[in-house]
Structure 1
Amino acid sequence: MSNKNSIGLEVKDSEQLASGLNDLLANYQLFYMNARGFHWNIRGDKFFELHLKFEELYSDAFLKVDEIAERILTLGYIPVHSYSDYVKKSEIKESKDISDGYIAVQQVLDGFRTLLIKERALLKMSADAEDEGTNALMSDYIRQQEKSVWMYSSFLSKK
């Protein structure tokens, strides 16, 4: 007999998914804070363009943080919710006092790389667990972020 949770998923699978989602949540929180800092501190000839782009980034990350936390709750677990836990768990590190747009964009790309790797792992894990809710969320994030990576990479391109 299987051990299913309230939404019909195996408890063991849900626990692993919630753990992976909590890891993703911590990374998103640092990504969010970094984008806020870039938005506030950006200077130079690309100020107006990048100021708006960084606002888009942190606004989007803010929504994703909530979606990820609510998915963890839906799976029956508690989302991490302290900044000290975010810093401890996150592979994305704090960016401090960055005002150069090109450095900030490179750090955004590095953050996307980390998020995409984690989202792809969760996509596979959720597919194996037949967790369509997490799978659809990760699929949407990946599609959107791959396009963002292309666009931000184009900004840094010298040609």
Structure 2
Amino acid sequence: MAVNSIGLNTVKAKEIAKDLNNLLANFQIYYQNLRGIHWNIKGKRFFDLHVKFEELYTDANMKVDLIAERVLTLGETPLHTFKDYTETAQVPVGKNISQDEKAVALIVDSLAELLKIERSILEKAGDANDEGTNSMMSDFITEQEKTVWMMKAWLSETV
């Protein structure tokens, strides 16, 4: 079994990096959605949501960097063009969303998609003894589950 410079099976590391690139593309769409709703939100909840959306896109931007750096750590090249992102991502694209409930629902739907991808990566990383990726996915999942809970509470829905 061939291993890379950080001691991981090269075949498994390449597969995880591919999945991380998929996650990266989805995070970039999610990030851009957050920027859009941050800019375009209207209504009586503007002040609260404008600040919350900025908090979320700042966090997403940080995660984008972490994912790309992990792809590099695994020996692969991160996706880095909008074409790659739009061709790869499954996260819904939100265009011209200015209504509060639609904006928050977009976040919930986007996070649900990200969580699916992250759980799949978590499983593969565990199988490959890739603790670095495993730890990152575990942290992302924990934070995003809490965000989904909060957004659904704001929407007055049950988790």
- TM-score scaled by length of structure 2: 0.97
Does the alignment pair 1:65 with 2:67?
no
Does the alignment pair 1:111 with 2:110?
yes
CA displacement 1:127-149 (0-9 Å, x = unmatched): 00000000000000000011000
Could you tell me how far 1:35 is from its partner in structure 2?
0.1
Give aligned pairs, total. 158
Q: Which amino acid aligns with 2:80?
A: H
Q: Which amino acid aligns with 2:102?
A: I
1:121 counterpart residue number: 120
C-alpha change, 1:75 and 1:158, in structure 2 (3 Å) is closer
Q: Tell me how far apart the structure 1 counterparts of residues 62 and 157 of structure 2 sit (CA, whole Å).
A: 33
Q: Tell me how far apart the structure 2 counterparts of residues 148 and 122 of structure 1 sit (CA, whole Å).
A: 20
Structure 1 vs Structure 2: percent identity of aligned residues? 50
Does the alignment pair 1:37 with 2:65?
no
* RMSD, matched Cα: 1.0
Q: Tell me how far apart the structure 1 counterparts of residues 157 and 128 of structure 2 sit (CA, whole Å).
A: 44
Q: Which amino acid aligns with 1:54?
A: F
CA displacement 1:96-145 (0-9 Å, x = unmatched): 11100100000000000000000000000000000000000000000001
Q: Tell me how far apart the structure 2 counterparts of residues 96 and 69 of structure 1 sit (CA, whole Å).
A: 25
CA displacement 1:38-67 (0-9 Å, x = unmatched): 000000011011001100110000000000
Structure 1: gaps (5+ residues): none
- TM-score scaled by length of structure 1: 0.97
Could you tell me how far 1:11 is from its partner in structure 2?
0.4
Could you tell me how far 1:95 is from its partner in structure 2?
1.2
